[in-house]
Amino acid sequence: MPAFDFLLQPDNCALVLIDQQAGLAFGVESIDRQVLLNNTIALVQAARAFDLPIVISTSATKVYSGPLLPGIRELLPEHTVFDRRNMNVWEDDVVRGAIEATGRKKLLFSGMLTESCVSLPVLCAQAAGYESFVVADACGGLTKTGHEMALWRMQAHGAQVTSWAQVLLELQRDWTRHATYAAARSVIEHNGGGYGIGLRYASDMLSK
């Protein structure tokens, strides 16, 4: 079977979560905030299902933004969270070092705000030879226009735009992959809307 190295695979990508904090979520207008949180949780669940390395960074936790959002913290209770001062995680030696230490060249980005703390490291990662995948429905911008403009700029520099569901389905690709089947299916059933309902229905019908 061809390697399809251009596709996301569990052994070639890592997830970078940036500034998933309430203080920044207050400013998000590009997407419903609860939908953004739900999408991010689904993305984290997908990353855990496929055992992806996850690098988490926050900023200004004591003065404005607050801690990592509880729904995400609950999924990753023992995970190191790197706090920093600047907007661009790529300019923080500790966070950039953690990303480099994963050894993965395909990076999935999710965070707030799309116009700054997401786009700046994506542009830097592209310049450094990484392949950046911006999980657009797990990113929040100050405005819908600002969010879209930031996505367009990142794409112009070679970044690819995707969604949490596409990430999960691309990593699974074959429902006969039994090692990740149950976990991947559970993420879809709980977060995939009508598709998730359909999977649950099919499972119930087959069990009968």
Is residue 182 assigned to a domain? no
The answer on pLDDT for 1 being more than 60 is: no
- Give residue 39's pLDDT: 98
Is residue 51 assigned to a domain? yes
- Give residue 160's pLDDT: 98
Closest to 11 in 3D by CA, of 146, 134, 171: 171
Is residue 7 assigned to a domain? no
The answer on pLDDT for 27 being more than 60 is: yes
Is residue 196 assigned to a domain? no
- Give residue 194's pLDDT: 87
Specify the number of domains making up the chain: 1
Which tens digit of pLDDT belongs to each residue from 81-111? 999 999 999 999 999 999 999 999 999 999 9
How many Cα atoms within 13 Å fall on the side-chain side of residue 125? Answer: 32
Domain boundaries, position 63? 13-171
Q: Cβ of 105: how many Cβ atoms within 10 Å?
A: 13
Which tens digit of pLDDT belongs to each residue from 114-127? 999 999 999 999 99
> Active-site residue numbers?
117
Is residue 180 assigned to a domain? no
The rounded distance, in Å, linking the Cα atoms of 140 and 32 is 9
The mean predicted confidence, pLDDT, of the chain is 94
> Which whole number is the average pLDDT over 174-189?
93
Is residue 164 assigned to a domain? yes
What is the domain-level CATH number for residue 94? 3.40.50.850
DSSP three-state, residue 174: coil
Is residue 127 assigned to a domain? yes
Is residue 2 assigned to a domain? no
- 3-state helix, strand, coil split of the chain in percent (to 5) is 50, 20, 30
Phi and psi dihedrals of 137, rounded to 5? Answer: -85, 5
Which tens digit of pLDDT belongs to each residue from 31-85? 999 999 999 999 999 999 999 999 999 999 998 899 999 999 999 999 999 999 9
Closest to 109 in 3D by CA, of 90, 96, 122, 126: 122
The rounded distance, in Å, linking the Cα atoms of 147 and 142 is 7
DSSP three-state, residue 120: helix
